[in-house]
Structure 1
Amino acid sequence: MLLFSESSHAELVVIANPHSGIDKLSKDEVINLYMGRTRKLANGMNAMPIDLNSSENEKAQFYALLVGKEVAEINSYWARLRFSGQGSPPVQAESMEEVLRIVAENKTAIGYVDKKKLDKRVRLIYVFD
Protein backbone atom coordinates (compact mmCIF):
# COMPACT_ATOMS: atom_id res chain seq x y z
CA MET A 1 0.00 0.00 0.00
CA LEU A 2 1.23 3.46 -0.77
CA LEU A 3 2.13 5.82 2.03
CA PHE A 4 1.50 9.55 1.81
CA SER A 5 2.96 12.33 3.89
CA GLU A 6 0.51 14.63 5.60
CA SER A 7 1.51 17.48 3.28
CA SER A 8 0.62 15.49 0.14
CA HIS A 9 -2.46 13.80 1.57
CA ALA A 10 -5.72 15.05 0.11
CA GLU A 11 -9.12 14.07 1.43
CA LEU A 12 -10.43 12.70 -1.84
CA VAL A 13 -14.13 12.55 -2.61
CA VAL A 14 -16.09 11.49 -5.69
CA ILE A 15 -18.29 14.10 -7.35
CA ALA A 16 -21.03 14.25 -9.97
CA ASN A 17 -22.93 16.90 -11.84
CA PRO A 18 -25.79 18.20 -9.64
CA HIS A 19 -28.24 17.53 -12.51
CA SER A 20 -27.16 13.90 -12.97
CA GLY A 21 -29.84 12.49 -10.70
CA ILE A 22 -27.16 10.74 -8.63
CA ASP A 23 -27.25 11.41 -4.89
CA LYS A 24 -24.60 8.89 -3.84
CA LEU A 25 -22.60 5.90 -5.02
CA SER A 26 -21.29 2.91 -3.08
CA LYS A 27 -17.60 2.03 -3.15
CA ASP A 28 -18.40 -0.96 -5.38
CA GLU A 29 -20.20 1.31 -7.85
CA VAL A 30 -17.21 3.68 -7.96
CA ILE A 31 -14.85 0.72 -8.48
CA ASN A 32 -17.02 -0.67 -11.28
CA LEU A 33 -17.13 2.69 -13.08
CA TYR A 34 -13.41 3.45 -12.74
CA MET A 35 -12.31 -0.08 -13.61
CA GLY A 36 -14.59 -0.25 -16.67
CA ARG A 37 -16.75 -3.06 -15.33
CA THR A 38 -19.86 -1.00 -15.99
CA ARG A 39 -20.45 1.96 -18.24
CA LYS A 40 -23.85 2.98 -16.94
CA LEU A 41 -24.93 4.98 -13.94
CA ALA A 42 -27.78 3.71 -11.74
CA ASN A 43 -30.15 6.06 -13.59
CA GLY A 44 -29.35 4.29 -16.90
CA MET A 45 -27.23 7.07 -18.41
CA ASN A 46 -23.79 6.28 -19.82
CA ALA A 47 -21.14 7.28 -17.29
CA MET A 48 -18.15 9.46 -18.09
CA PRO A 49 -15.56 8.85 -15.35
CA ILE A 50 -12.83 11.50 -15.20
CA ASP A 51 -9.37 10.55 -14.00
CA LEU A 52 -6.38 12.71 -13.14
CA ASN A 53 -3.25 12.59 -15.26
CA SER A 54 -0.74 9.95 -14.11
CA SER A 55 1.67 12.63 -12.90
CA GLU A 56 -0.75 13.77 -10.18
CA ASN A 57 -0.12 12.35 -6.67
CA GLU A 58 -3.86 12.32 -6.02
CA LYS A 59 -4.32 9.71 -8.76
CA ALA A 60 -1.99 7.34 -6.88
CA GLN A 61 -3.84 8.08 -3.66
CA PHE A 62 -7.24 7.53 -5.34
CA TYR A 63 -6.38 4.07 -6.69
CA ALA A 64 -4.65 3.05 -3.47
CA LEU A 65 -7.84 3.91 -1.57
CA LEU A 66 -10.20 2.52 -4.19
CA VAL A 67 -8.62 -0.82 -5.15
CA GLY A 68 -5.29 -1.01 -3.30
CA LYS A 69 -3.24 -0.75 -6.50
CA GLU A 70 -0.47 1.50 -7.78
CA VAL A 71 -0.85 3.69 -10.87
CA ALA A 72 1.50 1.42 -12.87
CA GLU A 73 -0.81 -1.54 -12.16
CA ILE A 74 -3.85 0.51 -13.22
CA ASN A 75 -2.12 1.61 -16.44
CA SER A 76 -1.20 -2.02 -17.20
CA TYR A 77 -4.79 -3.11 -16.54
CA TRP A 78 -6.14 -0.53 -19.00
CA ALA A 79 -3.48 -1.38 -21.60
CA ARG A 80 -4.66 -5.01 -21.56
CA LEU A 81 -8.34 -4.03 -21.84
CA ARG A 82 -7.67 -1.51 -24.60
CA PHE A 83 -5.53 -4.01 -26.56
CA SER A 84 -8.24 -6.69 -26.35
CA GLY A 85 -10.96 -4.20 -27.33
CA GLN A 86 -12.78 -4.64 -24.04
CA GLY A 87 -12.78 -1.03 -22.92
CA SER A 88 -11.06 2.29 -22.68
CA PRO A 89 -9.81 4.12 -19.59
CA PRO A 90 -11.50 7.12 -18.01
CA VAL A 91 -11.08 10.53 -19.61
CA GLN A 92 -7.84 12.15 -18.39
CA ALA A 93 -7.80 15.60 -16.80
CA GLU A 94 -4.68 17.65 -16.12
CA SER A 95 -5.80 19.06 -12.75
CA MET A 96 -8.53 18.99 -10.14
CA GLU A 97 -9.77 22.30 -11.52
CA GLU A 98 -10.24 20.61 -14.90
CA VAL A 99 -12.06 17.69 -13.23
CA LEU A 100 -14.42 20.19 -11.58
CA ARG A 101 -15.03 21.97 -14.90
CA ILE A 102 -15.70 18.77 -16.85
CA VAL A 103 -18.06 17.39 -14.19
CA ALA A 104 -19.89 20.72 -13.94
CA GLU A 105 -20.36 20.85 -17.73
CA ASN A 106 -21.36 17.19 -18.31
CA LYS A 107 -24.44 15.61 -16.78
CA THR A 108 -22.98 12.08 -16.88
CA ALA A 109 -19.46 12.88 -15.68
CA ILE A 110 -18.08 11.75 -12.33
CA GLY A 111 -14.68 12.60 -10.94
CA TYR A 112 -12.59 12.82 -7.81
CA VAL A 113 -11.13 15.89 -6.14
CA ASP A 114 -9.80 17.04 -2.81
CA LYS A 115 -12.77 17.78 -0.56
CA LYS A 116 -11.36 21.30 -0.02
CA LYS A 117 -11.97 22.05 -3.71
CA LEU A 118 -15.71 21.27 -3.67
CA ASP A 119 -17.96 24.06 -4.87
CA LYS A 120 -21.60 24.57 -5.84
CA ARG A 121 -21.01 23.41 -9.43
CA VAL A 122 -20.77 19.74 -8.33
CA ARG A 123 -22.40 17.27 -5.93
CA LEU A 124 -20.53 15.06 -3.45
CA ILE A 125 -21.54 11.43 -4.08
CA TYR A 126 -18.91 9.32 -2.29
CA VAL A 127 -16.50 9.82 0.61
CA PHE A 128 -13.74 7.31 1.40
CA ASP A 129 -13.85 5.81 4.91
Structure 2
Amino acid sequence: MTIKLKLARVLSTAGLMMAATFASAEVVVIVNANSSLNSASSGDIQQLFLGKRNDIGGVSATPVDQAEGNEARATFYEKVVDKTPSQLNAYWSRLIFTGKGKPPKQYFDDAEVLETVLEDDEAVGYIDSASVAEGVKVIYTAQ
Protein backbone atom coordinates (compact mmCIF):
# COMPACT_ATOMS: atom_id res chain seq x y z
CA MET A 1 0.00 0.00 0.00
CA THR A 2 1.42 3.39 -0.92
CA ILE A 3 1.92 6.19 1.52
CA LYS A 4 -0.64 8.33 -0.33
CA LEU A 5 -3.28 5.61 -0.05
CA LYS A 6 -2.58 5.13 3.68
CA LEU A 7 -2.77 8.89 4.26
CA ALA A 8 -6.04 9.08 2.31
CA ARG A 9 -7.53 6.31 4.48
CA VAL A 10 -6.44 7.97 7.72
CA LEU A 11 -7.82 11.35 6.65
CA SER A 12 -11.07 9.77 5.47
CA THR A 13 -11.54 7.95 8.78
CA ALA A 14 -10.76 11.11 10.76
CA GLY A 15 -13.26 13.07 8.68
CA LEU A 16 -16.01 10.52 9.29
CA MET A 17 -15.31 10.53 13.03
CA MET A 18 -15.48 14.33 13.15
CA ALA A 19 -18.71 14.36 11.13
CA ALA A 20 -20.27 11.84 13.52
CA THR A 21 -19.23 13.98 16.49
CA PHE A 22 -20.81 17.13 15.06
CA ALA A 23 -23.94 15.27 13.96
CA SER A 24 -24.51 13.93 17.47
CA ALA A 25 -24.34 17.38 19.09
CA GLU A 26 -28.01 18.09 19.74
CA VAL A 27 -29.43 20.79 21.98
CA VAL A 28 -32.53 20.14 24.07
CA VAL A 29 -34.67 22.48 26.14
CA ILE A 30 -35.26 21.19 29.65
CA VAL A 31 -37.42 21.90 32.68
CA ASN A 32 -37.57 20.45 36.18
CA ALA A 33 -39.30 17.06 36.25
CA ASN A 34 -41.89 18.59 38.63
CA SER A 35 -42.89 21.25 36.10
CA SER A 36 -46.33 20.97 34.54
CA LEU A 37 -44.75 21.80 31.16
CA ASN A 38 -44.47 18.73 28.95
CA SER A 39 -43.69 20.37 25.63
CA ALA A 40 -43.23 23.74 23.98
CA SER A 41 -43.06 25.10 20.47
CA SER A 42 -39.98 26.80 19.08
CA GLY A 43 -42.01 30.03 18.98
CA ASP A 44 -42.84 29.80 22.70
CA ILE A 45 -39.19 29.17 23.56
CA GLN A 46 -38.00 31.94 21.25
CA GLN A 47 -40.35 34.48 22.86
CA LEU A 48 -39.29 33.38 26.35
CA PHE A 49 -35.56 33.72 25.65
CA LEU A 50 -36.04 37.09 23.88
CA GLY A 51 -37.88 38.48 26.90
CA LYS A 52 -41.21 38.84 25.10
CA ARG A 53 -43.07 36.64 27.58
CA ASN A 54 -42.58 35.06 30.99
CA ASP A 55 -44.70 31.96 30.58
CA ILE A 56 -45.23 29.02 28.27
CA GLY A 57 -48.80 27.89 27.88
CA GLY A 58 -49.83 29.77 31.02
CA VAL A 59 -47.07 28.17 33.12
CA SER A 60 -44.66 30.69 34.62
CA ALA A 61 -41.17 30.22 33.17
CA THR A 62 -37.73 31.74 33.78
CA PRO A 63 -35.16 31.39 30.99
CA VAL A 64 -31.75 30.05 31.99
CA ASP A 65 -29.10 31.00 29.44
CA GLN A 66 -25.54 29.83 28.84
CA ALA A 67 -22.47 32.05 28.63
CA GLU A 68 -21.33 33.45 25.31
CA GLY A 69 -18.87 31.18 23.54
CA ASN A 70 -20.55 27.89 24.52
CA GLU A 71 -21.31 25.51 21.68
CA ALA A 72 -24.77 24.76 23.12
CA ARG A 73 -25.59 28.49 23.17
CA ALA A 74 -24.54 29.00 19.56
CA THR A 75 -26.57 25.99 18.43
CA PHE A 76 -29.62 26.99 20.48
CA TYR A 77 -29.76 30.57 19.23
CA GLU A 78 -29.09 29.54 15.64
CA LYS A 79 -31.65 26.71 15.51
CA VAL A 80 -34.36 27.86 17.92
CA VAL A 81 -34.17 31.65 18.17
CA ASP A 82 -32.86 32.16 14.62
CA LYS A 83 -30.26 34.75 15.62
CA THR A 84 -26.49 34.91 15.24
CA PRO A 85 -24.40 36.01 18.23
CA SER A 86 -24.01 39.51 16.77
CA GLN A 87 -27.75 39.82 16.08
CA LEU A 88 -28.50 38.69 19.63
CA ASN A 89 -26.05 41.22 21.12
CA ALA A 90 -27.60 44.01 19.02
CA TYR A 91 -31.10 42.94 20.09
CA TRP A 92 -30.29 43.04 23.80
CA SER A 93 -28.28 46.26 23.47
CA ARG A 94 -31.34 48.02 22.04
CA LEU A 95 -33.64 46.72 24.77
CA ILE A 96 -31.22 47.54 27.57
CA PHE A 97 -30.57 51.03 26.17
CA THR A 98 -34.29 51.82 25.97
CA GLY A 99 -35.02 50.23 29.36
CA LYS A 100 -37.42 47.72 27.82
CA GLY A 101 -35.74 44.55 28.95
CA LYS A 102 -32.71 42.65 30.09
CA PRO A 103 -31.28 39.34 28.90
CA PRO A 104 -31.71 36.09 30.83
CA LYS A 105 -29.16 35.32 33.49
CA GLN A 106 -26.22 33.42 32.03
CA TYR A 107 -24.66 30.33 33.51
CA PHE A 108 -21.23 28.92 32.69
CA ASP A 109 -22.06 25.57 31.08
CA ASP A 110 -24.45 22.62 30.82
CA ALA A 111 -23.70 21.53 34.39
CA GLU A 112 -24.68 24.90 35.90
CA VAL A 113 -27.84 25.09 33.78
CA LEU A 114 -28.76 21.56 34.81
CA GLU A 115 -28.19 22.39 38.48
CA THR A 116 -30.33 25.54 38.21
CA VAL A 117 -33.18 23.69 36.50
CA LEU A 118 -33.04 20.96 39.15
CA GLU A 119 -33.36 23.58 41.90
CA ASP A 120 -36.04 25.80 40.32
CA ASP A 121 -39.39 24.45 39.09
CA GLU A 122 -39.89 27.53 36.88
CA ALA A 123 -36.47 27.43 35.19
CA VAL A 124 -36.27 26.62 31.48
CA GLY A 125 -32.80 25.95 30.11
CA TYR A 126 -31.01 24.32 27.22
CA ILE A 127 -28.14 21.85 27.24
CA ASP A 128 -26.46 19.33 24.99
CA SER A 129 -28.65 16.23 24.81
CA ALA A 130 -25.76 14.14 26.16
CA SER A 131 -25.99 16.09 29.44
CA VAL A 132 -29.63 15.25 30.21
CA ALA A 133 -29.91 13.75 33.69
CA GLU A 134 -32.51 12.40 36.08
CA GLY A 135 -34.74 15.09 37.56
CA VAL A 136 -35.33 17.03 34.34
CA LYS A 137 -37.51 16.49 31.31
CA VAL A 138 -36.98 17.52 27.73
CA ILE A 139 -39.72 19.77 26.36
CA TYR A 140 -38.12 20.60 23.00
CA THR A 141 -35.33 19.28 20.78
CA ALA A 142 -33.58 21.74 18.46
CA GLN A 143 -33.65 20.50 14.89
Q: TM-score range by the shorter chain?
A: 0.7 to 0.9
Query: Equivalent pairs: percent with the same residue?
Result: 33
Kept in 2, the 8 Å contact 1:48–1:91? The answer is no
Kept in 2, the 8 Å contact 1:102–1:109? The answer is yes
Q: Deviations over 1:29-81 (max 9, x none)?
A: 01110111111232342x21011100212211111101332112101111111
Q: CA deviation at 1:8?
A: 5.0
How many residue pairs were aligned?
124
Give the letter aligned to residue 75 of structure 2. Answer: Q
Higher relative contact order (CA 8 A, sep 6+): 1
Per the alignment, residue 109 of structure 1 pairs with: 123
Say which of 38, 54, 68 aligns to 2:82: 68
Alignment of 1:83 onto 2:97:
yes
Kept in 2, the 8 Å contact 1:21–1:43? The answer is no
Q: Distance in 2 between matches of 1:67 and 1:41?
A: 15
Per the alignment, residue 134 of structure 2 pairs with: 120
Kept in 1, the 8 Å contact 2:37–2:59? The answer is no
Structural mapping, 1:51-66, within 5 Å? 51-66=65-80
Per the alignment, residue 36 of structure 2 pairs with: 21
Kept in 2, the 8 Å contact 1:59–1:71? The answer is no
Q: Deviations over 1:75-94 (max 9, x none)?
A: 11111111111111111010
Per the alignment, in what secondary structure is the counterpart of residue 50 of structure 1?
A: strand
Q: Larger helix proportion, structure 1 or 2?
A: 2
Give the letter aligned to residue 42 of structure 2. Answer: K
Q: Bigger radius of gyration, 1 or 2? A: 2
Q: CA RMSD in A?
A: 1.5
TM score, norm. by length of structure 1: 0.88
Structure 1, 53-62 or 89-98: larger mean CA deviation: 53-62
Say which of 54, 62, 68 aligns to 1:48: 62
